[in-house]
Amino acid sequence: MSFRGTTIAWSIAVIISALLLAVVCRMFVVELYTVAPQQMEQSLLAGDRVVVEKWHYGVRLPQSYVSLPLIDTLPGSDIPARLPKQPLPYRRWGERMVGRNDVILCNYPIDKPIPLSQYPTIATRCVGVPGDTVTAHQGRLYINGEAVAQSPIVTEAYLVTDSLLPSVEAAMRAIYDEMPPRQSIGEHRTLFYIDRYSYDRLCRELPDSILPRAINLAQDNYTVELPPCGSDVTITPHNAAFYAYIINRYEPAKVVLHNDALYRGGRRVKSYRFTQPYYWVLSDNRTSATDSRTFGVLPHSHVIGRCGMIVFSIDATKRGFNSWRINRFFQMRKL
């Protein structure tokens, strides 16, 4: 082979090797994730590009040998764009549990027979780990009976009536660089979505009689008992329905719920050992619906990795250089 031919072959080999290395790195090691609006504001802003450490909780193995990117089925057919057609069993190397308060990237649980990697992705915060009892009541969060100090940048909904709206808006314009998001409900009421730090600033500007009032939605009042992992859990009338839902949706076993008791193969199930950890996750934007208040527990199989450094950030509402949030470039933030 001539020198020119050898050089071309060597260049092709280097390019292919680099592409393969990049694919393997993205699949198993790290990935750059673009934060969507209203997921983790203000901890993470829409447009933040965050490094996701996929290895941190163990390497999740692919559930297909070959798949085409960006599509579920071949064009013009119902044939899955992957081999095999049915996803392979979930497996993970070097599994580690998610820590309480970790900010993670995960797959939103949906009921479709496709690989987990093709489920929608969300960034969220783990507030409950296996064995925890998580309670939310009147805007406060409790873990195992202990009140949890909430971050000052957690966003909540505050109600303002039309009669007080001019005074509240005037105070907001005086102290905020930008007006907070708002939503009209009914004919004479407005909801403002404000983080707690900004609300404290507003409290110093307005008398108590005019202050917006935090509202507690039905989804913000609950108690859940997360099952321990790796040990037998006693099935009681109190937890039977909740555990039946988890088992039938995520576990290999299937059970029947009858009169607050679980049955499998006609025999009553008195205890059960869950095969993977289950977590309770909440968005720092408590007005968001993309967390456990909507889809319930998050199984470890749906965890992608831990959110780490913010590499760069772009504000899609602005143009040109004004859209670059320079102060968020290469930030190792304590999320």
Q: Which residue ranges make up each domain of the chain?
A: 1-132+302-335, 155-219
* Assigned CATH for 155-219: 3.30.70
* 104 pLDDT above the threshold of 90: yes
Q: Which one is predicted more confidently, 181 or 53?
A: 53
Q: Average pLDDT, whole number, for the chain?
A: 85
pLDDT-based confidence at residue 74 (cuts at 50, 70, 90) = confident
* 148 pLDDT above the threshold of 90: no
Q: Stretch 133-155: mean pLDDT, rounded? A: 83
Is there a contact between 85 and 113 (Cβ–Cβ < 8 Å)? no
What is the model's pTM? 0.80
Q: Stretch 194-214: mean pLDDT, rounded? A: 84
* 36 pLDDT above the threshold of 90: no
How do residues 268-297 score in pLDDT, each as one tens digit? 999 999 999 999 999 887 766 678 988 999
How do residues 49-61 score in pLDDT, each as one tens digit? 999 999 999 999 9
The fold adopted by the segment(s) 1-132+302-335 is Umud Fragment, subunit A (2.10.109)
CB hemisphere CA count around 19 (13 angstroms): 6
* 328 pLDDT above the threshold of 60: yes
Q: How far apart are CA 173 and CA 193, in angstroms?
A: 15
* 157 pLDDT above the threshold of 90: no
The pLDDT score that the predictor gives to residue 267 is 94
Q: Stretch 57-81: mean pLDDT, rounded? A: 76
The percentage of the chain sitting over the pLDDT mark of 70, rounded to a whole number, equals 91
Q: What are phi and psi of 13, to 5 degrees?
A: -65, -40
* 3 pLDDT above the threshold of 70: no
